[in-house]
Amino acid sequence: MKDLIYHNNVYELRKGQNISQEKMASDLGISRRSISKIEKGDQNLSLEMAYRIAAYFEKLIPEVFPLMEEHLPSLAEMREQIPQ
C-alpha cells in the first residue's frame, strides 16, 4: 500500500495572515519548533492537532492538509489490507 502523502498549507496560511511561528505556537500551546516541523512536513500530526490547526485558520482539515491524490491507495489496495 502506498503511503498517504499530503502537502500542507500551514506556512502559506500563517504568512498570509502575518502570524509569526511564535504567536501561532503560543496560541496553540505548542513549541515554535513544532510549528516549524509541521510546516516542513517533518512532524506527524494527530487528528486532534490537525483539527486545531485547521480551526485556527477557520478552514477545514483538507484545506490545510490536502492529500495528494496520486498517492491515495486504490480500492483494490485498500481491500487487500482488510484482514479476512
Give all domains of the chain, ordered by start, each with its CATH number: 10-65 (1.10.260.40)
Residue type, 74: S
Beta bridge partners of 6: 67
Determine the straight-line distance between the first and last CA of the chain, rounded to whole angstroms.
17
Most confident of 19-23, 58-62, 69-73: 19-23
pLDDT score of 2: 44
Residue 40 to residue 9: CA distance in whole angstroms? 10
Please write the tens of the pLDDT for every residue from 17-48. Answer: 999 999 999 999 999 999 999 999 888 889 99
Mean of pLDDT over the chain? 86
Residue 31 to residue 2: CA distance in whole angstroms? 31
**pLDDT over threshold 60, residue 69:** no
Cα Rg, the chain, nearest whole Å: 15
